[in-house]
Structure 1
Amino acid sequence: MPTSLPEHFEDFAEARREGFLRVKELKDKGEKICGAFCQYTPSEIIYAAGLYQVALCGRSPDPIKTAETRLPANLCPLIKASYGHALEESCPYAYFSDVVVGETTCDGKKKMYELLGELKPMQVIHLPNVPDYERSLEMWTEEIRAFAKGLEEKFNVTITDDMLNESIEWCNKERIQAARIYELGKYDPPAITGTKMNDIMEGEQYMFDREAKYNKINEILDQCEKNWHDGIYPYEPDPNRPRLIVSGGGYGGVSAKTINVMEELGGAIVCYEGCCGISSRRRLVDEDRSRDPYVRIAEKYIEVPCAVVSPNYRRMDQVRETIKEWHADGYVSITLHSCNPFAIETENIRRVCEEMDIPLLHIETDFYPGDAGQIRTRIEAFLEMIRMGKEAAHE
């Protein structure tokens, strides 16, 4: 039987809107805000410096026209929306950020930061694009040290090893909890819907009391597990329901016409793989306090298998393991127009899916609603194909 929602679900669904007020309250109290765009941003450094971190990725088409007065029209919509909000001063998170940290995940972002730096104080961290320790770790460690030094100088603070160690342990605790959200999708039927997973992971970025947020998420997860063991499920049990993995980068602005539609049409999103998915949550920072904390932080983040890394064998291994572990029937790759690294990498993911004998659906889109009907039709056909295959297998 379907279940009612755990008490705090709606807190996370509304968190981004409510966060507008919370971030202003922090500023009124004299707190400092660091805006960030990407999972490569070393949160441990930000928190050790005594700053609050907030996500700045644009997800609305509204500021894009403004951004296009200075940026190319054929640029990724996430980059344009992010810059447009800063240019218009239409996003409180960007407006109230005392510093913005950028990371060189793609050429579009890298060049946009030059313009954004005219509007907000910027620190840009240059990423290694080669996925091995010997060639990249030393350079990446120095970039993280430089980032910490920049925050120390700007905010007149000292970041000690003890501060970093405490921050490392807190961030690891939060990652373990976040991984648990996705692990609820392993149940059959899943113990949480994919849309609610997404609500939590989106909303938690805009809740600034970390202790209260941690406790709320725990309550939700405990209730989801209890409901499942009591025979109360978020989906009606159905052996032919397609189990989907969703992947990609920056799909927050397109969830209404992609993620939500997949579940509305009878699919179950069991895990997210990609930028904001299971991968970054399972990679923890070593907590051995006898070692240099900057090296330990660098070791964790250098393993993030972003599409900008080449060759990206680590991500292909991750895709295989995620398909197996979550018993997926289909894989959906969502990429934004002009996001060339993720779009090109979808071809390698397609080959992995063929090897694993599951179908792949690639949706390339932007923040505008004009293609919603076409996407819905493609999702419906994809789900029907999977369902027919499962029905035939069960005969």
Structure 2
Amino acid sequence: MDNTSYIRNAICIFFQISTPMFNLPPGFESFSESRKTAFLEAQKISETQPIVGTFCTFVPRELILAAGAAPISLCSGNDETIAAAEADLPINFCPLVKSSYGFAKTGKCPHFHFARLIVGETTCDGKKKMFEYMVRDKPVHVIHLPQMTDEESVAFLANEFRKFARRLEEIFSVTITDEMVAEQITLVNEERRALQDVYRLAKSDPPLLSGKELFVMFNTFTTSVGHEAKIAFARSLKEEYSSRPAGAGPRPKRILLTGSPITKATVKVIDAIESAGGSVVYIEGCVGSRPNELLVDEKNPDVYDALARKYIRIACSCMTPNDGRLQTIGEKIDEYHIDGVVDMGLVACHTFNAESTLLREYVTKTKSTPFIHVETDYSQADFGQLSTRLSAFLEML
């Protein structure tokens, strides 16, 4: 055994003995080196801050941070554990739900393993059922999300956020004051502005960053902790990308990507677009601009009302009607000089797939912009088919 392995094993044994509530999982030694590293990093976070696992951008990070905890997204982008999930969940469930549940069930998700609380929400019927299974292993709090945006719904959601704050106080034995929430509202708004400063660089023609780089940035933010670290990360990216020289050669076709959440498994859609000569300059998605375009009103004296008014405007397909999504996409088509819209739907993601027809009509008729809908899952077997369809779409632009 080399010195590095010896030290790592010694560290693991020390933590298993000294912090029994945060033991590494039984199968730890069989994991890949990258997964072992992820578990050790999650364990390190959990020793200074309790981890709260989330599955949706509707969960207010501001409240979790006010409780002194670390909000981390647990949505999975790998088909490795789908078979294990299908022992409990239907085969024709959304792959994001099956993958996320499978990683939790098999003990292969480091942040789920070390999480003190899992926060769910009623955006998706599949996830609602998933949370009923997860409660076997972890405390779960489900936020009831109203699916309209009227004043009654805003008041309802504000009350749900108050209940969530009380649950956080109970779990972590803390008191959450309005002043603490207001402070976190300011800090999280700063993080959103820092992100905006980076992804808006894609307005340049040709764009200063690729769609793959956009995805990596957004995905890193959802699984990172620490306000200063996030701000520094965003600023370093802005400095790097803004200093790039203007691209040479033919102008790439500028694509707006929208639809179901983009994950590491479905980034293949971006790869297919950009390998065919296109450029994804705007990602209108959960792992994208959708939760980051809007800020919380820092001047609203009722912090829970302020949070509710921001989060209820996230244009998810669970909302009805979802006019906000059409409005946002229309604005971005103009703002980013979009040549074509690609709508990606996950298999069995019924609300996004159902909304595709309305979106097609709006994009092609109102905005006179070409549109294509593609449906995929977490397998990589359809990459060739996706590439063929998307290449043909780009050729016609």
TM-score (norm 2): 0.88
Asked if 2 retains the 8 angstrom alpha-carbon contact of 1:79 and 1:112, the reply is yes
User: Counterpart of 1:45 in structure 2: which amino acid?
Assistant: L
Question: Does 1:316 find its partner at 2:326?
Answer: yes
Asked if 2 retains the 8 angstrom alpha-carbon contact of 1:247 and 1:332, the reply is yes
Q: Name 2:369's counterpart in structure 1.
A: 358
Asked if 2 retains the 8 angstrom alpha-carbon contact of 1:246 and 1:272, the reply is yes
> Displacement of 1:249 after TM fit?
2.1
* Long gaps (5+) in structure 1: 1-14, 387-395
Cα distance per residue 1:240-294 (max 9 Å; x no partner): x2100001122204334211221122111111113233232121111116x1111
| Cα distance between partner residues in 1 of 2:72 and 2:249 | 38
| Cα distance between partner residues in 1 of 2:38 and 2:106 | 19
Q: Secondary structure at the match of 2:136?
A: coil
Q: Name 1:11's counterpart in structure 2.
A: none
> Displacement of 1:18 after TM fit?
5.9
Aligned match for 2:224, one of 207, 213, 220: 207
Question: Does 1:53 find its partner at 2:53?
Answer: no
Question: Does 1:172 find its partner at 2:184?
Answer: no
TM-score (norm 1): 0.88
> Displacement of 1:202 after TM fit?
0.7
How many residues are treated as equivalent by the alignment? Answer: 363
| Cα distance between partner residues in 2 of 1:332 and 1:188 | 19
Q: Name 2:121's counterpart in structure 1.
A: 103
| Cα distance between partner residues in 2 of 1:256 and 1:314 | 25
| Cα distance between partner residues in 2 of 1:370 and 1:192 | 28
Aligned match for 1:281, one of 276, 286, 292: 292
Aligned match for 1:128, one of 125, 146, 169: 146
Q: Secondary structure at the match of 1:110?
A: helix
| Cα distance between partner residues in 1 of 2:248 and 2:57 | 34
Cα distance per residue 1:306-333 (max 9 Å; x no partner): 1010111121111111111111000011
Asked if 2 retains the 8 angstrom alpha-carbon contact of 1:77 and 1:366, the reply is yes
Structure-to-structure mapping, 1:122-161, within 5 angstroms: 122-132=140-150, 134-161=151-178
Structure number with greater CO (CA < 8 Å, separation at least 6) is 1
Distance 1:74 1:330, change over 3 A: same
* Long gaps (5+) in structure 2: 1-33
Distance 1:147 1:200, change over 3 A: same
Which is further off, 102-111 or 40-49?
A: 102-111
> Displacement of 1:30 after TM fit?
4.7
Which is further off, 245-254 or 366-375?
A: 245-254
| Cα distance between partner residues in 1 of 2:327 and 2:223 | 32
Q: Name 2:201's counterpart in structure 1.
A: 184
Aligned match for 2:255, one of 244, 247, 265: 244
| Cα distance between partner residues in 1 of 2:320 and 2:385 | 32
| Cα distance between partner residues in 1 of 2:241 and 2:249 | 15
| Cα distance between partner residues in 1 of 2:73 and 2:317 | 20
RMSD: 1.6
Q: Name 2:3's counterpart in structure 1.
A: none
Aligned match for 1:374, one of 385, 390, 393: 385
Q: Name 1:37's counterpart in structure 2.
A: 55
Q: Secondary structure at the match of 2:131?
A: helix
User: Counterpart of 1:158 in structure 2: which amino acid?
Assistant: T
